[in-house]
Amino acid sequence: MATPPGASAFTGPAAAAGEEEGGCVKPFTPEKAKEIVMSLQQPAIFCNMVFDWPARHWTAKHLSEVLHGKQIRFRMGMKSTDTVPQFETTCSYVEATIEEFLAWNCDHSGISGPFRDYDHSKFWAYADYKYFVSLFEDKTDIFQDVIWSDFGFPGRNGRESTLWIGSLGAHTPCHLDSYGCNLVFQVQGRKRWHLFPPEDTPFLYPTRIPYEESSVFSKVSVVNPDLKRFPQFQKARRHVVTLSPGQVLFVPRHWWHYVECTDPVTVSINSWIELEEDHQARVEEAITRMLVCALKSAEDPHNTRAWLNPTEVGHFGFPSWQLGSCDKSALARTFVFQFITSKVVETQELKTNGEDMKKDELNVYHLMEVEQTGSQNLTLETVKQEVAGSFGPDLLPVLPSSEKPPSERGGIFENDDKDFVGKGGEHFGKLHCTKRQQRMSKSENATVGQIASNHAMAHSQTFISTDDVLDCLVNPQVTKIVAQLLIQGRSL
């Protein structure tokens, strides 16, 4: 079967490395791929792992035929680059079919239908976060077209995946995912990823407004930063890579990322992989949910759109009408307190069922020190070095970039072909296999400085808003400490 235009193809020098007697073999076994995914602490690109996936043919045109007549939600944003992030709460939304999207994207004049109010030269469209189970609810056989079992996760397929379709300029604001790590398969077109390591969190000025469960947003427009307002951002270590069709990007846990479409039409498929650390993260998210809900719903009971991400509507844990009533705020707080308790109990039970409590318990006075010692640490370092040795033409490390943000070199609409992937893996050990204690101590100081900076900014205003308070209360480092105290408190 011929590869449709723009879809991934098994070609190029790297492809030749996987050929044997006219056939193709994958460079990594599922076991080895999983070992890499579970051990690697640096973003990397897998090549030649999906050449036999049926989903490699899922161009937007193909999907428009599969989903003929089905309306999906597109987020509409402005192509102009601003120093303020374009959060989902500031975007418009359109219900349309993929056919209508393609017509608008190709025929830039005289367009009618749902996109008629959006000038293609000024707007982009993004069908993001489309879960397969909802999108293909009556076509479940299609789940088998995505084969995450090749990466060592048996039975994982489209059922646990998400689809993304975007036009040139469409993007997600810079954020980190609270849960798991991420595998992203690029099907059609290219996307540029701007990534920042977890240790740089204070330099990204984290915020939970707009609120989205499991997402921590950055206040910084990373492609056009306001360095007067966010001076610490200059210290952030940007890693930039352009993901091409047929490649799979691995995004480690808690790496910040800003993703932009750099071709006229892009299609991606991703899956978030659950990790052991997610148990505590769920407690942290429950704490965040309680505080955000309690403060914001009481502040403006009739305007949840101002602080609640559209992706959360109908998924906040209790009916949206309860959020819009101060009289019912007690009910909401009671619900969320119960939710936190359940997560703490759940986490505690998981720790006591066959796990060594001492391994994961942290002294509350040294919560920023994450380095382990002894034989466990030696074993971990050995695994990391073995994984680093896997770098080559089929596993490309994403290295720190010296490139300026797109806004400083002409913008993403130039559609350049430059690939930012580092070709050699020899720097991996120096970058992300070094001792983390020193990095975290610096991060701790930066966190305190960033919170103090937010506090100073608030004092320069005429009042302290609930957003200012939340920036301190639900700072990722703060909720981490509270969650650990709650979990440890139940074990005493």
- Record the pTM: 0.76
pLDDT tens for residues 212-256?
Answer: 888 999 999 999 999 999 999 999 999 999 999 999 999 999 999
Distance spanning both ends of the chain, measured CA to CA? 62
Place of tokens 């400490």: 481
Question: What mean pLDDT do residues 397-406 have?
Answer: 77
For residues 242 and 414, is the Cβ–Cβ distance under 8 A?
A: no
Pairwise pLDDT comparison (6 vs 52), residue with the higher score: 52
Average per-residue pLDDT for the chain: 78
Name the H helices within 127-246. 132-135
For 235-253, b/e burial (b = at least 16 CB within 10 A) is: ebebbbbbbbbbbbbbbbb
Question: What mean pLDDT do residues 7-16 have?
Answer: 39
pLDDT tens for residues 455-475?
Answer: 545 444 556 788 888 888 888
Q: Is 269 exposed, middle or buried (0-12, 13-18, 19+ CB in 10 A)?
A: buried
pLDDT of residue 310: 81
Instruction: Read off φ and ψ for residue 19, nearest 5 degrees.
Output: -95, 135
pLDDT band at 450 (very low <50, low <70, confident <90, very high): low
Query: Percentage helix, strand, coil, to 5, in the chain?
Result: 40, 20, 40
Question: What mean pLDDT do residues 32-58 have?
Answer: 97
pLDDT of 86 strictly over 90: yes
pLDDT tens for residues 109-155?
Answer: 657 789 999 999 999 999 999 999 999 999 999 999 999 999 999 99
Question: What mean pLDDT do residues 334-345 have?
Answer: 62
pLDDT of residue 370: 40
Instruction: Read off φ and ψ for residue 332, nearest 5 degrees.
Output: -65, -45
Q: Is 334 exposed, middle or buried (0-12, 13-18, 19+ CB in 10 A)?
A: exposed
pLDDT of 77 strictly over 60: yes
Which stretch of DSSP H or E encloses residue 172? strand 171-177
How far apart are the C-alpha atoms of 216 and 196, rounded to whole Å?
13
For residues 72 and 132, is the Cβ–Cβ distance under 8 A?
A: no
List the structure tokens of 347. 């986490």
**Tell me, what amino acid is at 405?**
P
